[in-house]
Amino acid sequence: MGGQADSIQTPRGASVSAVDDIVAAIRAMIAERGLAVGDSLPTERELCERFGTSRNTVREAMRILKARGMVEVRPKIGATLIDNRMESAFQMFSLNVMDVSRETYDDVQGFRLLLEVSSFEQIFDRLTDADVEALREINEGFRISVPVNDAAERDFRLHTRLIFILGNKAVLDVYGIMKPVILKIMLRNKTRRVFEGENYEDHARIIDALDARDRVAYQYRMREHLVNGYNRWNKAVDRGEA
């Protein structure tokens, strides 16, 4: 990558872009002042004055920091340092449904088995009655949802709520970027009229296993639930219905 002419761009004082300078300057300021997560940055206008640039330039620099998950900006509040870099990194690789291959589907489903079945120890360690209650509520909403889009959305929400129990934001973020693919899998199953009632029953029994703290039953039922949808998908794909 960009190995064109290293010597040209390097002079530290004469820079390529004013915006990049501001980004570097802000980073230097963070380092110099020892700012950490939760601390505030000066206002945009202050930064303009400090660095002698226009506000638009500062704003573009701010957009970069925001895109990198380093700051959070709110009107009247200003910019505060955060560490959402991991989430931002994941979002860069958000899957686009358009170009998802069969292999990707397999991988996503395998990933789900890892996150939703193999993680049972962590799930049961952190599980509370409130979690069970929330899951039941979502599942009830799932049963009465009519449009397939809505049903798939609620289906996904239920599984997301399950992942939420893990209390791991990175895992939750990753699950989020897989959403389009997962939704597509769910949608396909539902448009093929494959027993939404059965799906509701699946969910109910999984939640029952959680409620009873029955780890063996949970693993078995969740695995069955995922693999069933998976097999239905595979059959459909093999018939060229993708």
Partner DNA sequence: GACGGATACTGGTTGGACAAATAGCCTTTC
Partner DNA sequence: GAAAGGCTATTTGTCCAACCAGTATCCGTC
What residues make contact with its own copies under the rule CB under 8 A?
1, 19, 27-28, 30-31, 36-37, 56, 59-60, 63-64, 66-70, 81, 83-93, 95-101, 103-104, 106-108, 110-111, 113-115, 118-119, 121-122, 166, 168-171, 173-174, 177-178, 181
Closer CB to its own copies, residue 164 or residue 200? Answer: 164
| Position 9 contacts DNA (CB under 7 A) | no
Among left, alpha and beta (phi > 0; psi -120 to 50; other), residue 236 is alpha
The span from the CA of 58 to the CA of 98, in Å, is 36
Min separation Cβ 18 and DNA, Å? 3
Binding DNA (rule: CB under 7 A), the pick from 54, 94, 118, 231 is: 54
Closer CB to its own copies, residue 11 or residue 93? Answer: 93
Residue 208 binding: pick among DNA, its own copies, none (C-beta 5-8 Å cut-off by kind): none
Rg (CA), the chain: 24
> Which has the closest alpha carbon to 174: 233, 104, 115?
115
Residues 6+ apart with CB under 8 A from 61: 19, 20, 22, 23, 26
